[in-house]
């Protein structure tokens, strides 16, 4: 059971929905939760695991109807919160001024789409059988979408200080590289050797994220501010670089599942050729 990619995707969604809560709390503490709607994603991240944990247990116990219903409910709510949050973030400045500067300095418009991605992942698990090659490709596609979001985050966030440090270009180039490599399996047939190259590229992304996290934390610790909490709230987003290793896990699950499908196809072709 634990060797099934589906199980790890479900666990990924559960952990991620719960793990977003601290990041949401820090991000919305910038304006002290000025709008009541800003509490919605925080509460959702706390409540959603209460439903997903029984869903995960139901999956492991083979109670597929319970797993399906609970996952679809949480998934649909997560998609709705993500899309609504993106619109509300854009309304903060961009829809009024419609300039590139207003987009850069507005609330991070793509950030709420993390909820949408997780919601689509939950719905995907219940719409397409894990044994189908399409399931693996959709998981890779959602990981690709996450890396494209990382690309937008890296450009817009670091543009606020004009890419003062040259190292701020690293996540921009790195996320673009990840998008390029993960796009190939979606548009053409690839070999197992190519999947191994993708794994190496993903491990590079994880390193970029871990180093970025350390640099952000270090910058906040040494920044000026009345308290350490204030330095983390108003300083560099400490958890943002951890999106890289987080998405690496999702991409690796998709690549793992795709590799299994390719292996099965090779076995079938060899048997067909032998006969």
Terminal Cα-to-Cα distance of the chain (whole angstroms): 33
**Same-domain pairing of 49 and 95:** yes
Q: Where is the domain boundary, 66, 98, 127?
A: 127
pLDDT at 27: 72
Grouping H, G, I as helix, E, B as strand and the rest as coil, residue 155 is helix
Asked whether residue 144 falls in the same domain as residue 273, the answer is: yes
The predicted pLDDT at position 223 comes to: 77
The whole-number pLDDT of residue 229 equals 67
Q: Count CB-CB contacts under 10 A for residue 90.
A: 18
User: Would you put residue 63 in left (φ > 0), alpha (ψ -120 to 50) or beta?
Assistant: beta
Do residues 105 and 144 both lie within one domain?
no
CA geometry: angle at 272 spanning 270 and 274, to 5°?
A: 70
The predicted pLDDT at position 102 comes to: 41
Quote the pLDDT of residue 220. Answer: 80
Mention every residue, 6+ apart, whose C-beta is less than 8 A from residue 89: 106, 107, 108, 109, 111, 112
| Confidence at residue 42, expressed as pLDDT on a 0 to 100 scale | 87
Give the angle 111-114-116 at the CA atoms, nearest 5°.
120
Cα separations in angstroms, 264 against 60, 131, 132, 261 = 24, 10, 11, 5
Of 93, 127, 161, the residue at which a domain comes to its end is 127
Whether 168 and 267 map to the same domain: the answer is yes
Residues 107 and 147 in one domain: no
Query: How does DSSP assign 69-84, residue by residue?
Result: HHHHHHHHHHHHHHHH
Place of tokens 């992304």: 205
pLDDT tens, the chain, 275 aa long: 567 899 999 999 999 988 888 778 777 776 667 778 788 888 899 999 999 999 999 999 999 999 999 999 999 999 999 888 888 777 655 444 444 444 443 456 667 888 899 999 999 999 999 989 999 999 999 999 999 988 888 887 777 777 777 888 999 999 999 999 999 999 999 999 999 999 999 999 999 999 988 988 888 887 777 787 667 766 777 778 888 999 999 999 999 999 999 988 887 777 776 54
Q: Are residues 109 and 145 in the same domain?
A: no
Token pair in block for residue 208: 């970029």
- The per-residue pLDDT for 93 is 52
163 and 184 in contact (C-beta within 8 Å)?
no
Are 153 and 271 part of one and the same domain? yes
Gap between the Cα atoms of 182 and 199, Å rounded = 10
Range of the domain at 164: 132-275
**In terms of domains, do 10 and 41 share one?**
yes
The CA-CA-CA angle for residues 122, 124, 126, to 5°, reads 80
Q: SS3 string of 95-110? A: HHHCCHHHHHHCCCCC
Same domain, 96 and 137: no
According to the model, what pLDDT value does residue 145 have? 92
User: Cα angle vertex 47, ends 127, 117, to 5°?
Assistant: 40
177 plus 267 within the same structural domain: yes
Structure tokens given for 161 = 């200080």
| 257, 4 contact by CB (below 8 A) | no
Among all chains, which residue has been given the structure tokens 């009345």? 226
Verify that 113 and 233 share a domain, yes or no.
Answer: no
Domain boundary among 83, 106, 127: 127
Supply the pLDDT for residue 105: 39
Cα–Cα distance for residue pair 235/131, rounded to 1 Å: 45
Same domain, 120 and 138: no
Total tally of structural domains belonging to the chain: 2
């Amino acid at each position: 059971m634990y060797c099934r990619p589906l199980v790890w995707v479900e666990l990924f969604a559960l952990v991620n929905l719960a793990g977003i809560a601290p990041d949401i709390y820090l991000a919305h503490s910038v304006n002290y939760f000025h709008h009541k709607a800003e509490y919605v994603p925080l509460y959702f991240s706390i409540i959603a695991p209460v439903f997903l944990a029984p869903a995960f247990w139901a999956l492991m116990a083979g109670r597929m109807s319970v797993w399906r219903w609970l996952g679809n409910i949480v998934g649909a709510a997560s998609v709705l919160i993500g899309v609504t949050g993106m619109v509300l973030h854009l309304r903060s400045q961009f829809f009024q001024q419609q300039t590139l500067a207003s987009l850069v300095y507005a609330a991070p418009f793509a950030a709420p789409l993390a909820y949408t991605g997780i919601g689509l992942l939950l719905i995907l698990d219940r719409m397409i059988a894990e044994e189908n090659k399409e399931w693996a490709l959709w998981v890779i596609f959602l990981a690709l979408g996450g890396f494209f979001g990382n690309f937008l985050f890296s450009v817009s966030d670091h543009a606020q200080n004009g890419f003062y440090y040259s190292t701020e270009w690293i996540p921009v180039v790195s996320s673009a590289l990840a998008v390029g490599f993960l796009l190939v399996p979606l548009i053409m047939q690839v070999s197992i050797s190519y999947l191994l190259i993708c794994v190496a590229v993903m491990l590079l992304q994880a390193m970029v994220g871990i180093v970025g996290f350390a640099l952000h934390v270090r910058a906040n610790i040494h920044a000026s501010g009345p308290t350490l909490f204030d330095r983390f709230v108003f300083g560099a987003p400490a958890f943002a670089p951890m999106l890289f290793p987080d998405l690496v896990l999702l991409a690796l699950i998709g690549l793992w599942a795709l590799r299994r499908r390719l292996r099965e196809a090779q076995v079938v072709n060899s048997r067909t050729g032998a006969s």
